[in-house]
Structure 1
Amino acid sequence: MRNINFQINNKGKIFYIAIAVTLILVSIVAAFVIKIYGLKGGVMPVILSFGLLFVYAVLRLPRFGVLALLVMAYFIMFIISMGFTEFPLGTIMDGMLALLVIGFFIQQKYYKNFKVFKNPVAYLILVWVVYNLIQVFNPNAASQLAWVYTIRSVAVVMLSYFIFSYYIISIKFIRTILIVWLSLAFFAALYAIKQEYIGFFPFEEWNHFDPLIQSLLFIDGHWRKNSIFSDPVAFSYNMVVCSILCLALITGPFRLRLKVFFGFLMLLFLTVMLYSGTRAAYVLLPAAGILFLVLKLNKSLFFLAIVAGLFLFVVINIPTGNVTLYRFQSAFKPNNDASYNVRKANQKKIQPYIQAHPIGGGLGATGVWGVRFAPNSFLAKFPPDSGYLRVGMELGWIGLFIICSIMFTGLYMGIKNYFNMRDPELKTYCFAMILIIFAIAVGNFPQEAIVQYPLNIFFYLFLALIQVTKVLDDKKFKEEQGVTEKKIKGLI
């Protein structure tokens, strides 16, 4: 054992010595280049060296890579919005995913574990990835280039499910992930408060003079906030998902002060969510609350649910002149909302097309890529207002069936695991993921819930945690059972 520890310590020392030597060499090279080519030229060796170190760290320390992926998923759109470079920063996320996948196969050489592929959700995700790949041959597609630009954000991102399932191997790492996630959400919430009460930075206002943007984001004399995310929808959905996480954690086996802290975060996330003006997000917490009651039904909760329901009823129906509150109320009265009625009519209009095209009109046929690569096509002119609607149009009712099956199977496995788990902490984490996936499944109907960063990455983390928590629970139970058996044998 001492020899093993000595070898590990030696490897660690060699690693840090290598970093120190590399940084010294880079500093010397950078100084030399700055002297000859100026400051800009000298920055490139520094960026390149840190990039190489980062690649090495992701491959050597995959859990660092997982955390880096989650952090970058939160900040990538914010960095892009700053516009300090013309480099396509979105490819950084693709590169990180590729590195983690490569690392996954390297690890398989030494620590074979194919169990991550052996569950219903994994099977369906593989089917989804293959189905998206063969869409390049879709005869209905107006452009193959649209497929090229869309495939990475739709199918390739799904591979992160296997990365999370493989590398999350301890309850300690789950805690670390949740702490990092809530810290990121807390920063995003504070940034939204800054936008609401202080205003936008100049780089955030570049499109505020566009009449189309104004019609979407300037409501009743008030700008909708998006915090560090791409748009108000992505911001609001992230905040409501984090509030649901906090709601579930409050029920867990944690100290009172932690539960109070989770309650504070939940109220903060729900408050800033209102700044987004996204009505679709307002109904997600009540929707998750219904499933919450079903899974944890008891007399005290039933009484609290009645009180909360009455309070919500009053808030929805009370007369108000407050723009934010009025917009919140309108979310629960969709038939009185003009935009909802337009979307409802659009969905009815496109149904015959979806029914007549089982494999859809091709990946990327709608939205930005459809307009760019096939502007005169029927689908390019049709607004993809819903995540399910987009899938139905691009991938047909077959694709729609697959994505709905993934969500349903994730919920089914989660609920089944939840009632069979023994460890209260792991059970709480599984419970949180069930509520979140259910909310996303509901939220994907009025909006595109899992298209933009960071939820397009985090959604597969949620699915993975449902299985990982059960695996860890079973492992812990077997270990405890083994210890008990040894004690019994010792007594005999």
Structure 2
Amino acid sequence: MENINIQSESKITSSNTILFIVLLVLSAATAAIFTFYGSRAGVIPLVVTVALVFVYIVIKEPKFAVLSIMVLSYFIMFIISYFNTSLPLGTIMDGMLAVMILGFFIQQKYRRNYWIFKNPISYIILIWVSYNVLQFFNLDAASKLAWVYTIRNVAAVMLSYFIFTYYLDSRKFLRTIIILWLSLSFFAALYAIKQEYFGFFAFEERNHYDPATIGLMFIDGHWRKSSIFSDPVSYSFNMAISSLLCIGLLTGPFKLKTKLILAFLAMLFAWVMPYSGTRAAYVLIPAALSLFFILKLSRIALVLSLPVAFAFLILIKVPTNNRTLARFQSAFRPNNDASFNVRKLNQKKVQPFIQTHPFGGGLGGSGIWGYRFAPNSFLAQFPPDSGYVRVAMELGWVGLLIICGIMFTSLYVGIKNFFEIRDPELKSYCLAMVLIVFALTIANYPQEAIVQYPMSIYFYMILAIITVSKVLDNQINDGVIKLEVKEEKKVKKIDYRVV
């Protein structure tokens, strides 16, 4: 055992020495190029140096990389908006995920954990990844380039589930993940309050003079808010699931002070959510609460559910002149909503195509990439406006069955784990994730709920927490059983001696 430690330490020391020499050479090259060829040419070795340091940190400290990608996914769209740059900063996320996947396979060489591939959620995700890769051979695809541009980030994001499952190996790190998540959501909520009551910054008003932006973002004399996210829809969904996260955690064995903070955050996230003007988000919390009361079926839950349901009915029925409240009420009368009826009409038009193309029109065939690479194709003419509709158009009804299978499997495993987990804290984590998956399952119908940052990253982390919470609970129970067996043997031995 000591020899193994010495060898591993020598390997680390040698790798550090090699990295130091490489960075020293690159630093000297950067200085020389800056001196003789100017700043533009000197940027190249500087970028290479930073990239090498970044790759080293991600592989050496993978848990730090997990926390970093959580933070970056929250702020990447805000950074792009602030600098107003045409540089593909989104590829930073793709590159970071690619390096994390590389580090994951390197770690598997020294610390193999094949169990992360042997559970129902892993099986269905592997099927989903394989199906997306096989779409390259789809004969009905209008453009292969659309597949190339789409799969480069889709595949990495989908594989992030295994990365999160692998590195979420302790209760302590799981707590860190939850605390960071709530902290980021709290910042986003405060930023939305700033936009609502103190206005926008100058860089946020760049597009406010565009007629298309005005028609989409300026409703009833009021600008829709998006906080630090790419759009109001992404902002509203993130606030809704953050509120559900707090509601689920309230069932955990935490101190009164912690529960008061969680209750405050749950109400804050729910309060600022309507600033987005996104009606699809308004139904998520009430719908998830109905599942919450079912899973926590007890006298207390029944007593609490009645006044909550009564207050909710009053809220959606009471006459009001408040524009925000009126828009909230309209979310529960979708047939009276013109935009919802337009979506239904578009879906009706594309329905024959879906029925006659079981494998769809090709990954990336609709939306931005479809319009860019195949503007005259059938799918490029239709705005998806729904996560399920986009999958059905691009990947066919076979792909739709798989994505629905992911949602169903996640809910099934999550609910099953919730009832089997004994540890109260891990049980609350699992419950919170089940509520969020249930909400996103609903949200993915009227909008594309899991394609924008940060939700595209956080969705697979949510699935990983569902899996890991049960694994950690099993480890705790196994430890208790072993301890009890040892104690029992010790008692028997003492009794024998007495006799």
Contact 2:98 2:156 in 1 (8 A): no
Name 2:144's counterpart in structure 1.
144
Q: Cα distance, 1:393 vs. partner?
A: 0.7
How far apart, in 1, do the equivalents of 2:331 and 2:153 lie?
29
Question: Gaps (5+ residues) in structure 1?
Answer: none
Identity in percent: 60
1:411 aligns with 2:425: no
Q: Cα distance, 1:102 vs. partner?
A: 0.9
Name 1:365's counterpart in structure 2.
365
Q: How is 1:334-345 mapped onto 2 (pairs within 5 angstroms)?
A: 334-345=334-345
The residue identity in structure 1 corresponding to 2:229 is: F
Q: Cα distance, 1:346 vs. partner?
A: 2.1
Name 1:227's counterpart in structure 2.
227
- Cα pair distance change 1:15/1:249, threshold 3 Å: farther
- Cα pair distance change 1:249/1:39, threshold 3 Å: same
- Cα pair distance change 1:316/1:192, threshold 3 Å: same
Name 2:241's counterpart in structure 1.
241
Q: Cα distance, 1:173 vs. partner?
A: 0.6
Q: How is 1:237-386 mapped onto 2 (pairs within 5 angstroms)?
A: 237-386=237-386
Deviates more, 1:151-160 or 1:4-13: 4-13
- Cα pair distance change 1:92/1:327, threshold 3 Å: same
Residues 452-474 of structure 1: CA deviation (Å, up to 9, x unaligned): 11101110111111110101100
* Number of equivalenced pairs: 492
How far apart, in 2, do the equivalents of 1:451 and 1:390 lie?
11
Deviates more, 1:15-24 or 1:358-367: 15-24
Q: Cα distance, 1:215 vs. partner?
A: 1.1
- Cα pair distance change 1:316/1:118, threshold 3 Å: same
1:482 aligns with 2:482: yes
Name 2:109's counterpart in structure 1.
109
Deviates more, 1:394-403 or 1:193-202: 193-202
Contact 1:360 1:395 in 2 (8 A): yes
- Cα pair distance change 1:16/1:254, threshold 3 Å: farther
Q: Cα distance, 1:27 vs. partner?
A: 7.7
Name 1:460's counterpart in structure 2.
460
Q: Cα distance, 1:292 vs. partner?
A: 0.1
How far apart, in 2, do the equivalents of 1:272 and 1:21 lie?
51
How far apart, in 2, do the equivalents of 1:12 and 1:246 lie?
41
Name 1:447's counterpart in structure 2.
447
Name 2:73's counterpart in structure 1.
73
How far apart, in 2, do the equivalents of 1:3 and 1:203 lie?
58
Q: Cα distance, 1:169 vs. partner?
A: 0.4
SS in 2 for 1:155: helix
Q: Cα distance, 1:369 vs. partner?
A: 1.1
Contact 1:414 1:434 in 2 (8 A): yes
- Cα pair distance change 1:35/1:194, threshold 3 Å: farther
Contact 2:250 2:428 in 1 (8 A): no
SS in 2 for 1:401: helix
Q: Cα distance, 1:334 vs. partner?
A: 0.8
How far apart, in 1, do the equivalents of 2:480 and 2:133 lie?
45
How far apart, in 2, do the equivalents of 1:320 and 1:440 lie?
29
Deviates more, 1:130-139 or 1:81-90: 81-90
Deviates more, 1:11-20 or 1:437-446: 11-20
Cα RMSD (Å) of the superposition? 2.5
How far apart, in 2, do the equivalents of 1:216 and 1:202 lie?
19
Deviates more, 1:305-314 or 1:200-209: 200-209
How far apart, in 1, do the equivalents of 2:321 and 2:101 lie?
53
Name 2:200's counterpart in structure 1.
200
- Cα pair distance change 1:192/1:39, threshold 3 Å: farther
SS in 1 for 2:216: helix
Q: Cα distance, 1:47 vs. partner?
A: 4.8
Contact 1:129 1:156 in 2 (8 A): no
The residue identity in structure 2 corresponding to 1:214 is: I
